Amino acid sequence: MADEGVSMKASMTIDLEFVVGEVDDRIFGSFIEHLGRAVYEGIYEPGHPSADSSGFRGDVLDLVKALKVPLIRYPGGNFVSGYNWEDGVGPVADRPRRLELAWRSVESNEVGTDEFIRWAHLAGAEVNMSVNLGTRGPDEARALIEYCNHPAGSRWSDLRISHGIREPYGIRTWCLGNEMDGPWQIGHKTAYEYGRIATETAKVMKWVDPTIELVACGSSYRSMATFPEWERIVLEEGYEHFDYLSIHSYYGNQEDDIRNYLAKSLDMDAYINSATAICDYAKAKSRSSKTVNLSFDEWNVWFHSLELDKKREPWLVAPPLLEDIYTFEDALVVGCLIITLLKHADRVKIACLAQLVNVIAPIMTKKGGKAWRQTTYYPFMQASLYGRGTVLNPAISCPQYDSKDFSGVPFLESVAVHNADSGELTLFAVNRSTEEELELTAKLRGFENHRLVEHTVLTNPDLKAVNTESKENVYPSNCTTSELEAGNLHAKLPKLSWNVIRMSTTPAA
């Protein structure tokens, strides 16, 4: 147990042979649900000064494109369990207004499948489409995939063509419902009930398009009473039909305990380990050669807006729901969570920051006004830009601390990613100390021709600092004190900081 009053030192070895796995770009995915102002007044606002002819905000699109999000989950979330996808296609003037029960709002259906896919393509992203297994089932799912992916010559593909979309969308990744073990879910099911309907839905969807990948619902979060028995039953029902198991988790600092808050990525780590073990158990029991990987398709910080949302008036169009205003300390936690996801790149192949705009999001908008970056935008953006390649697991020696819920928490949270194409080695690091900078020495093994490209740091003396429409208080800055000589990195990580250290290097001959 370290005393934070003593200057801290940490050492690590980054070895080219310490491979965790290859990063699937989809680990930097995100999520747009028909919830609050995510769609309406978020990505879509006809009449906004930056809006295009389809009503999509150009300023928001620019911020999304800068994140290089490769995959966006849509249209939910809890919303999907009561959604009739047919409501959102065809002439907008003919689309019905519906009471949306998951979030007690009114859904206008101005934006539906075709519009969202068009927007996602503008953003450079694929769509991770969810099907409704709450109020609906295999028949509606096979119709939707026929509409999206079948070339022509059938009822639903020809309907798509009649809407002006001749070429099929070719959507690759599909979610079989959402959080179906949650009593709050429309069409809530037991594990056996869900396992059966998910299996039958998977069968017909893959009969329509054998190239797709399917995500089966895991428990809604780790502390659910259903976990891990739910996963076992579901996977035993349809192991050969599923490609991924979904897991969800959100974190908060309701107790205003920064040391414990920063340690919560250890909970994510334990959750991933448990879910992976269940997948491998089901693989062994089914005597399969196939590996089911993980889709962490909802993760984020979420707690600021919980009390306010209880007071919102129901049955409005696009009410301001789940609009967490993120602080500097939230950005540090998001950084720790990203590092944890990368540490499990061998099994976490899809991950979706939930969500993308306005709703617990890195991007906020004002109706008719500006769009801006929240504090959490920066660690996610930097990881997406520089965290693609091969994950290397550093051998780290550093002091630890205990918090209310966790013991043996390392002050240094870190992972390295080597991108052979760009010739860069990037070290992501969070200093969890509330008192001391951390003097880091890192030895590079298996590399040569070293050069420090840059060291950026995200820090702020005010843990509660936020970014607003008019002022950005939390953003990365350059650190000029780091050195890289003869394969040895020397860096000083400020207390409570997110660090990105990029190095140009080549594998040793």
| Strand intervals (E) in 241-338 | 244-251, 293-301
Q: CB within 8 A of 142, min separation 6: which ones? A: 201, 204, 205, 207, 208
Question: If DSSP codes are grouped into helix, strand and coil, which group holds residue 147?
Answer: helix
Q: Catalytic one among 115, 146, 179, 323?
A: 179
194 with 181: CB under 8 angstroms? yes
Closest CA to 320 of 364, 369, 268: 364
DSSP category for residue 50: T
Q: Which two tokens stand for residue 220?
A: 């809604």
Q: What gap in Å lies between CA 230 and CA 371, rounded to an integer?
A: 41
Task: Note if 4 is an active site residue.
Answer: no
Q: Which two tokens stand for residue 412?
A: 């240094």
Task: Note if 45 is an active site residue.
Answer: no
Residue 434's CB is within 10 A of a number of other CB atoms, namely 14
Degrees, nearest 5: CA angle 268-297-186: 110
DSSP string, 441-464: EEEEESEEEEEEEEEEEE--S-TT
Q: What gap in Å lies between CA 86 and CA 83, rounded to an integer?
A: 9
Backbone angles phi, psi at 78, to 5 degrees: -55, -30
415 with 338: CB under 8 angstroms? no
Q: What gap in Å lies between CA 460 and CA 434, rounded to an integer?
A: 12
Q: Catalytic one among 298, 323, 329, 437?
A: 298
Angle between helix 155-162 and 138-149 (nearest 10) = 50
The reply to whether omega before 185 is within 30° of 0 (cis) is: no
246 with 175: CB under 8 angstroms? yes
Q: What gap in Å lies between CA 462 and CA 458, rounded to an integer?
A: 12
Q: CB within 8 A of 375, min separation 6: which ones? A: 326, 327, 328, 330, 331, 465, 466, 467, 474
DSSP category for residue 313: P
DSSP string, 374-400: -TTHHHHHHHHHH--SEEE--EEE--E
Q: What gap in Å lies between CA 192 and CA 172, rounded to an integer?
A: 26
DSSP category for residue 273: H
Q: What gap in Å lies between CA 74 and CA 32, rounded to an integer?
A: 6
142-178 b/e with 16+ CB inside 10 Å = b?
Answer: bbbbbbbbbeeeeebbebbbeeebeebbebbbbbbbb
Active site residues per annotation: 179, 298
